[in-house]
Amino acid sequence: MTGNPLCIGVDASRAVSERPTGTERYSRHLIGALIAQDRLVVQGRSRTLRWRLYFNRPPASSSLFTDHPHVEHRVIPFPRLWTHLRLGWEVAHHPPDLLFVPAHVLPLWTRPPALVTVHDLGYRHFPEAHPPGQRWYLEWSTRHNARRAAAILADSEATRADLTRHYGTDPDRIVVAYPGLDPTLAPARDPQRIARTLARYGIRRPYLLYLGTLQPRKNLVRLVEAFARLQSRLDPDDRGLSLVLAGRRGWLYDGLFRRVRTLGLEGRVLFPGYVDDADKAALLSGALAFVFPSLYEGFGFPVLEAQVCGTPVVCSDRSSLPEVAGDAALLVDPMDVEALAAALYRVVTEPGLRATLIERGRANVRRFSWESCAQTVLEVMGRVLDEERRAKAT
């Protein structure tokens, strides 16, 4: 171990959100896994690390960010354009050796080399899901990240391919670092706990479950149509099956409710609304199967969460989902209602298939951990710093 400690600056502003979304959970868990490390190999030498976390407001007390002596907090509030004005000013005047932005956009100007995560290009695939101003900003910020970053992290090979296709980004600058899973998520094995949770949401077993935002990209209208076909094929004893579409209402969901009514499925398709994180395991564990026919996902956390909870999965064969699900799901063309209905019929009527998918799911989730993700990120940081030093030497 030689030399002064290396300072790695991290935009941690998204990691302390009170109601986190997927990218904010990613930021929190990955930062936690990174700051557990205090060494980095640069130019073949082990260097001590110092982590400098930037916040736009004081973080709530959390051992995730305070238990390590080599972690420094920089709380730098600012009313608007925090990233480009306040964080950019701070990094320019007090530069770390490297800046990492895990869940947003790089400042307009950065003196140190920068590493950024691009999670998905959903706005490219479904522009109608975003207001014009938001779509413009997503387009600009992704292009800016792709142009300014010394290296780019992608959640999946699908996102890596999108960056190359849409922005001409050199694939050698993009490294896939699969995210991990919430380490607190585990199967709910207590029948009483599952029963209490289902009662609270007005759900009775057996049921098929979708869990996520209600929006067009999730392809729920076709799922409802496939469920209607499934109902007509089931034996009378199996027709008590319901389809639970759990999650908050996003946008353009009125057509989904209309389709449920026109198919006469009001009593069979249930909308329990937003599900608290504390209830997720019980809801997943109680389901006959988890169904995720999304048209586009940058990663696909819900598939892995279902597998963790021992729930068989039927999911789309599009974007990142095949690489995430592995051989532990029934993959189906999400545009083909008949194929989706056939997959649902199989998972409902074939106990052996369900058992196989559950067992494969348990094996599949072992591929994903925040420790492994952090190790990949550290390797990329070391490579970026190596290249920076070589460039300065020439």
User: Which pLDDT value is given to residue 61?
Assistant: 59
Region 192-199: mean pLDDT is: 96
Calculate the alpha carbon distances from 354 to 98, 255, 328, 345, 381 in Å: 47, 32, 10, 11, 42
Tokens of 345: 């019929």
More confident residue, 60 or 181: 181
Mean pLDDT, all residues of the chain: 93
Q: Which of 119-133, 151-165, 262-276, 357-371 has the lowest mean pLDDT?
A: 119-133
Region 133-157: mean pLDDT is: 94
Domains of the chain: 6-180+369-393 (3.40.50.2000), 191-367 (3.40.50.2000)
pTM (global) more than 0.85:
yes
User: Which pLDDT value is given to residue 43?
Assistant: 84
Q: Where residue 121 falls among pLDDT bands split at 50, 70, 90?
A: very high
pLDDT in tens, 18-74: 767 788 889 999 999 999 998 998 888 999 999 999 999 888 755 557 778 899 999
Question: Which residues in the chain belong to E strands, given as ranges?
Answer: 6-11, 39-42, 45-55, 71-75, 98-101, 114-118, 151-154, 174-176, 207-211, 242-246, 269-273, 289-292, 313-316, 330-332
Residue for token pair 């460039």:
391
Q: Which of 19-23, 50-54, 77-81, 167-171 has the lowest mean pLDDT?
A: 19-23
Q: Is the pLDDT of residue 2 over 70?
A: no
Secondary structure (DSSP) of 239-280: TT-EEEEES-B-SS-HHHHHHHHHTT-TTTEEEEE---HHHH
pLDDT in tens, 242-289: 999 999 888 778 899 999 999 999 999 999 999 988 999 999 999 999
Q: Where residue 104 falls among pLDDT bands split at 50, 70, 90?
A: confident
Contact 289, 242 (CB under 8 A): no
What is the rounded distance in angstroms from the CA atom of residue 44 to the CA atom of residue 59? 36
User: Which pLDDT value is given to residue 69?
Assistant: 86
Q: Which of 1-10, 192-201, 304-313, 334-343 has the lowest mean pLDDT?
A: 1-10
